[in-house]
Chains A and B, each alone.
Chain A
Protein backbone atom coordinates (compact mmCIF):
# COMPACT_ATOMS: atom_id res chain seq x y z
CA UNK A 1 0.00 0.00 0.00
CA UNK A 2 1.66 3.23 1.07
CA UNK A 3 5.01 3.81 2.70
CA UNK A 4 3.10 5.30 5.61
CA UNK A 5 2.54 1.87 6.98
CA UNK A 6 6.24 1.25 7.26
CA UNK A 7 6.43 4.18 9.64
CA UNK A 8 4.11 2.42 11.99
CA UNK A 9 0.58 3.76 11.57
CA UNK A 10 -1.95 1.68 9.74
CA UNK A 11 -5.56 2.39 8.91
CA UNK A 12 -6.50 -0.05 11.65
CA UNK A 13 -4.63 2.18 14.08
CA UNK A 14 -6.66 5.28 13.22
CA UNK A 15 -9.83 3.28 13.45
CA UNK A 16 -8.83 2.14 16.91
CA UNK A 17 -7.84 5.68 17.91
CA UNK A 18 -11.25 6.92 16.83
CA UNK A 19 -12.92 4.14 18.77
CA UNK A 20 -10.96 4.55 21.98
CA UNK A 21 -10.20 8.27 22.05
CA UNK A 22 -12.78 9.82 19.70
CA UNK A 23 -15.27 10.75 22.41
CA UNK A 24 -12.58 12.10 24.71
CA UNK A 25 -11.17 14.31 21.96
CA UNK A 26 -14.66 15.40 20.93
CA UNK A 27 -15.58 16.46 24.46
CA UNK A 28 -12.21 18.14 24.87
CA UNK A 29 -12.88 20.25 21.78
CA UNK A 30 -16.57 20.79 22.50
CA UNK A 31 -15.87 22.16 25.97
CA UNK A 32 -13.50 24.70 24.44
CA UNK A 33 -15.18 25.73 21.21
CA UNK A 34 -18.85 25.09 22.12
CA UNK A 35 -19.72 24.12 18.56
CA UNK A 36 -20.56 20.52 17.69
CA UNK A 37 -19.71 20.66 14.01
CA UNK A 38 -16.41 22.40 14.67
CA UNK A 39 -15.57 19.92 17.44
CA UNK A 40 -16.22 17.00 15.12
CA UNK A 41 -14.02 18.53 12.40
CA UNK A 42 -11.30 19.03 14.98
CA UNK A 43 -11.40 15.35 15.96
CA UNK A 44 -11.10 14.44 12.31
CA UNK A 45 -8.19 16.82 11.71
CA UNK A 46 -6.46 15.62 14.86
CA UNK A 47 -6.67 11.97 13.81
CA UNK A 48 -5.47 12.78 10.30
CA UNK A 49 -2.52 14.76 11.66
CA UNK A 50 -1.80 11.92 14.09
CA UNK A 51 -1.82 9.40 11.28
CA UNK A 52 0.54 11.51 9.18
CA UNK A 53 2.90 11.84 12.11
CA UNK A 54 4.19 8.86 13.99
CA UNK A 55 3.52 7.90 17.55
CA UNK A 56 6.78 7.19 19.34
CA UNK A 57 5.41 6.13 22.66
CA UNK A 58 7.20 8.74 24.77
CA UNK A 59 3.89 9.65 26.35
CA UNK A 60 0.56 7.90 26.46
CA UNK A 61 -1.30 7.78 23.16
CA UNK A 62 -4.06 9.93 24.60
CA UNK A 63 -1.65 12.61 25.83
CA UNK A 64 -0.11 12.66 22.37
CA UNK A 65 -3.51 13.00 20.66
CA UNK A 66 -4.58 15.73 23.09
CA UNK A 67 -1.33 17.56 22.30
CA UNK A 68 -2.28 17.56 18.63
CA UNK A 69 -5.83 18.67 19.48
CA UNK A 70 -4.42 21.60 21.48
CA UNK A 71 -2.62 22.79 18.37
CA UNK A 72 -5.86 22.53 16.39
CA UNK A 73 -7.54 24.74 18.98
CA UNK A 74 -4.72 27.29 18.79
CA UNK A 75 -4.99 27.27 14.98
CA UNK A 76 -8.73 27.83 15.21
CA UNK A 77 -8.36 30.77 17.60
CA UNK A 78 -5.61 32.33 15.53
CA UNK A 79 -7.75 32.07 12.40
CA UNK A 80 -10.79 33.56 14.15
CA UNK A 81 -8.81 36.52 15.45
CA UNK A 82 -7.17 37.16 12.07
CA UNK A 83 -10.15 36.78 9.80
CA UNK A 84 -12.50 38.70 12.06
CA UNK A 85 -9.79 41.20 13.00
CA UNK A 86 -10.67 41.02 16.67
CA UNK A 87 -8.83 43.53 18.81
CA UNK A 88 -9.10 45.05 22.23
CA UNK A 89 -10.59 48.48 22.65
CA UNK A 90 -8.82 50.27 25.45
CA UNK A 91 -11.32 53.16 25.38
CA UNK A 92 -14.28 51.17 26.57
CA UNK A 93 -13.55 49.39 29.81
CA UNK A 94 -16.14 46.71 30.63
CA UNK A 95 -14.90 46.51 34.23
CA UNK A 96 -16.25 50.05 34.78
CA UNK A 97 -19.61 48.42 35.44
CA UNK A 98 -18.23 46.76 38.57
CA UNK A 99 -16.71 49.86 40.18
CA UNK A 100 -17.87 53.39 40.99
CA UNK A 101 -16.02 56.47 39.76
CA UNK A 102 -13.55 56.23 42.62
CA UNK A 103 -12.70 52.63 41.73
CA UNK A 104 -14.52 51.01 44.63
CA UNK A 105 -16.91 48.08 44.28
CA UNK A 106 -20.47 48.87 43.19
CA UNK A 107 -21.55 45.49 44.45
CA UNK A 108 -18.86 43.88 46.58
CA UNK A 109 -18.15 40.20 45.91
CA UNK A 110 -19.88 37.71 48.19
CA UNK A 111 -18.08 34.70 49.56
CA UNK A 112 -18.38 31.48 47.57
CA UNK A 113 -19.07 28.40 49.60
CA UNK A 114 -17.62 25.62 47.53
CA UNK A 115 -14.45 23.74 46.99
CA UNK A 116 -12.63 23.27 43.67
CA UNK A 117 -12.76 19.49 43.81
CA UNK A 118 -16.55 19.39 44.16
CA UNK A 119 -17.05 22.10 41.54
CA UNK A 120 -14.83 20.47 38.95
CA UNK A 121 -16.82 17.24 39.10
CA UNK A 122 -20.17 19.02 38.92
CA UNK A 123 -21.65 18.77 35.44
CA UNK A 124 -24.13 21.62 36.00
CA UNK A 125 -21.38 23.92 37.17
CA UNK A 126 -19.31 23.10 34.08
CA UNK A 127 -22.31 24.08 31.95
CA UNK A 128 -22.85 27.39 33.75
CA UNK A 129 -19.13 28.14 33.52
CA UNK A 130 -19.14 27.31 29.82
CA UNK A 131 -22.11 29.64 29.37
CA UNK A 132 -20.32 32.45 31.20
CA UNK A 133 -17.19 32.01 29.10
CA UNK A 134 -19.33 31.91 25.95
CA UNK A 135 -20.90 35.24 26.95
CA UNK A 136 -17.53 37.04 27.05
CA UNK A 137 -16.63 39.34 24.16
CA UNK A 138 -15.13 37.15 21.40
CA UNK A 139 -11.50 38.20 21.85
CA UNK A 140 -11.72 37.75 25.62
CA UNK A 141 -13.29 34.34 25.11
CA UNK A 142 -10.52 33.18 22.78
CA UNK A 143 -7.68 34.54 24.91
CA UNK A 144 -9.17 33.13 28.11
CA UNK A 145 -9.79 29.74 26.50
CA UNK A 146 -6.20 29.39 25.34
CA UNK A 147 -4.79 30.55 28.64
CA UNK A 148 -7.02 28.78 31.15
CA UNK A 149 -8.63 25.89 29.27
CA UNK A 150 -5.93 24.93 26.81
CA UNK A 151 -3.23 25.53 29.43
CA UNK A 152 -0.99 27.70 27.23
CA UNK A 153 1.57 29.91 28.92
CA UNK A 154 1.35 33.71 28.65
CA UNK A 155 4.00 33.94 25.96
CA UNK A 156 2.32 31.34 23.77
CA UNK A 157 -1.06 33.09 24.10
CA UNK A 158 0.50 36.43 23.13
CA UNK A 159 2.08 34.84 20.06
CA UNK A 160 -1.05 32.97 18.97
CA UNK A 161 -3.36 35.94 19.49
CA UNK A 162 -0.84 38.51 18.27
CA UNK A 163 -1.24 40.68 21.35
CA UNK A 164 1.27 42.33 23.69
CA UNK A 165 1.80 41.06 27.26
CA UNK A 166 0.09 44.24 28.56
CA UNK A 167 -2.88 43.51 26.30
CA UNK A 168 -3.02 39.99 27.68
CA UNK A 169 -3.04 41.27 31.26
CA UNK A 170 -5.81 43.77 30.53
CA UNK A 171 -7.91 41.12 28.78
CA UNK A 172 -7.42 38.51 31.52
CA UNK A 173 -8.37 41.02 34.21
CA UNK A 174 -11.53 42.00 32.32
CA UNK A 175 -12.42 38.38 31.60
CA UNK A 176 -11.86 37.25 35.19
CA UNK A 177 -14.01 40.03 36.64
CA UNK A 178 -16.79 39.30 34.14
CA UNK A 179 -16.67 35.56 34.86
CA UNK A 180 -16.59 36.15 38.60
CA UNK A 181 -19.68 38.32 38.29
CA UNK A 182 -21.45 35.86 35.98
CA UNK A 183 -20.76 32.91 38.28
CA UNK A 184 -21.89 34.83 41.33
CA UNK A 185 -25.16 35.64 39.59
CA UNK A 186 -25.81 32.30 37.96
CA UNK A 187 -24.27 29.75 40.25
CA UNK A 188 -23.38 30.92 43.71
CA UNK A 189 -26.65 32.78 43.86
CA UNK A 190 -25.53 35.39 46.35
CA UNK A 191 -25.94 38.27 43.93
CA UNK A 192 -29.03 40.42 43.97
CA UNK A 193 -31.68 38.74 41.91
CA UNK A 194 -33.37 42.00 41.02
CA UNK A 195 -31.41 42.72 37.86
Chain B
Protein backbone atom coordinates (compact mmCIF):
# COMPACT_ATOMS: atom_id res chain seq x y z
CA UNK B 1 0.00 0.00 0.00
CA UNK B 2 1.16 3.48 -0.87
CA UNK B 3 2.29 4.99 2.38
CA UNK B 4 1.99 8.60 1.29
CA UNK B 5 -0.69 10.43 3.24
CA UNK B 6 -1.62 7.09 4.72
CA UNK B 7 -3.39 8.25 7.88
CA UNK B 8 -4.96 11.28 6.28
CA UNK B 9 -6.40 9.11 3.51
CA UNK B 10 -7.50 6.43 5.93
CA UNK B 11 -9.43 8.95 8.03
CA UNK B 12 -11.03 10.27 4.86
CA UNK B 13 -12.17 6.76 3.94
CA UNK B 14 -13.41 6.16 7.48
CA UNK B 15 -15.39 9.39 7.31
CA UNK B 16 -16.68 8.59 3.81
CA UNK B 17 -17.89 5.23 5.10
CA UNK B 18 -20.35 7.22 7.24
CA UNK B 19 -21.61 8.95 4.08
CA UNK B 20 -21.63 6.35 1.33
CA UNK B 21 -20.83 2.67 0.72
CA UNK B 22 -17.10 2.28 0.07
CA UNK B 23 -16.00 0.44 -3.06
CA UNK B 24 -14.46 -3.00 -2.60
CA UNK B 25 -10.92 -1.64 -3.00
CA UNK B 26 -11.52 1.35 -0.76
CA UNK B 27 -12.82 -0.96 1.94
CA UNK B 28 -9.86 -3.26 1.54
CA UNK B 29 -7.43 -0.37 1.63
CA UNK B 30 -9.02 1.01 4.80
CA UNK B 31 -9.02 -2.37 6.55
CA UNK B 32 -5.39 -3.02 5.66
CA UNK B 33 -4.36 0.36 7.03
CA UNK B 34 -6.41 0.01 10.21
CA UNK B 35 -4.93 -3.41 10.83
CA UNK B 36 -1.53 -1.84 11.35
CA UNK B 37 -2.42 1.65 12.62
CA UNK B 38 -3.94 1.99 16.07
CA UNK B 39 -4.28 5.83 16.05
CA UNK B 40 -6.47 5.54 12.93
CA UNK B 41 -8.50 2.78 14.57
CA UNK B 42 -9.13 5.16 17.46
CA UNK B 43 -9.98 8.00 15.12
CA UNK B 44 -12.49 5.85 13.26
CA UNK B 45 -14.08 4.73 16.51
CA UNK B 46 -14.28 8.33 17.73
CA UNK B 47 -15.92 9.55 14.53
CA UNK B 48 -18.49 6.78 14.91
CA UNK B 49 -19.01 7.64 18.57
CA UNK B 50 -19.62 11.25 17.59
CA UNK B 51 -22.37 10.19 15.20
CA UNK B 52 -23.82 7.81 17.76
CA UNK B 53 -23.97 10.47 20.49
CA UNK B 54 -25.50 13.04 18.14
CA UNK B 55 -28.18 10.54 17.09
CA UNK B 56 -29.08 10.04 20.74
CA UNK B 57 -29.01 13.76 21.44
CA UNK B 58 -31.45 14.35 18.58
CA UNK B 59 -34.12 12.41 20.39
CA UNK B 60 -33.47 13.68 23.87
CA UNK B 61 -35.87 15.92 25.69
CA UNK B 62 -33.07 18.32 26.82
CA UNK B 63 -35.21 19.47 29.71
CA UNK B 64 -32.10 20.96 31.30
CA UNK B 65 -31.68 23.46 28.47
CA UNK B 66 -33.07 27.00 28.63
CA UNK B 67 -36.79 27.38 28.00
CA UNK B 68 -38.76 30.13 26.28
CA UNK B 69 -38.90 33.26 28.42
CA UNK B 70 -42.30 34.68 29.36
CA UNK B 71 -41.77 37.65 27.08
CA UNK B 72 -40.85 35.36 24.16
CA UNK B 73 -43.93 33.32 24.85
CA UNK B 74 -46.10 36.44 24.87
CA UNK B 75 -44.54 37.68 21.63
CA UNK B 76 -45.20 34.35 19.93
CA UNK B 77 -48.75 34.24 21.26
CA UNK B 78 -49.44 37.74 19.93
CA UNK B 79 -48.16 36.94 16.47
CA UNK B 80 -50.13 33.69 16.42
CA UNK B 81 -53.29 35.56 17.41
CA UNK B 82 -52.77 37.95 14.52
CA UNK B 83 -52.69 35.05 12.10
CA UNK B 84 -55.40 32.89 13.62
CA UNK B 85 -57.92 35.71 13.95
CA UNK B 86 -57.11 36.88 10.44
CA UNK B 87 -56.38 40.48 11.42
CA UNK B 88 -53.82 42.13 9.17
CA UNK B 89 -50.32 42.08 10.50
CA UNK B 90 -48.42 45.32 10.72
Across the A-B interface, the 6 shortest Cβ-Cβ residue pairs: A103-B5, A108-B39, A120-B56, A11-B84, A173-B15, A103-B8
Q: Is A109 located at the chain interface by the 8 A CB criterion?
A: yes
Q: Is B83 located at the chain interface by the 8 A CB criterion?
A: yes
B68 touches A105 (CB 8 A): no
A44 touches B79 (CB 8 A): yes
B46 touches A180 (CB 8 A): yes
B5 touches A99 (CB 8 A): yes
The number of chain B residues touching the other chain, given as a range, is 35 or more
Of B4, B6, B38, B83, which is in contact with the most chain A CB atoms at under 10 Å from its CB?
B83
B9 touches A43 (CB 8 A): no
Chain B residues with Cβ below 8 Å from A116 are 49, 52-53, 56
Q: List 28 A-B contacts (CB under 8 A).
A: A2-B84, A2-B85, A11-B84, A15-B77, A22-B68, A24-B62, A26-B72, A31-B62, A40-B68, A40-B75, A44-B75, A44-B79, A51-B84, A98-B8, A103-B7, A108-B42, A109-B46, A116-B49, A120-B60, A121-B60, A125-B53, A149-B57, A154-B19, A154-B20, A173-B12, A176-B47, A180-B46, A180-B47
- Nearest-CB residue, chain A, relative to B16: A169
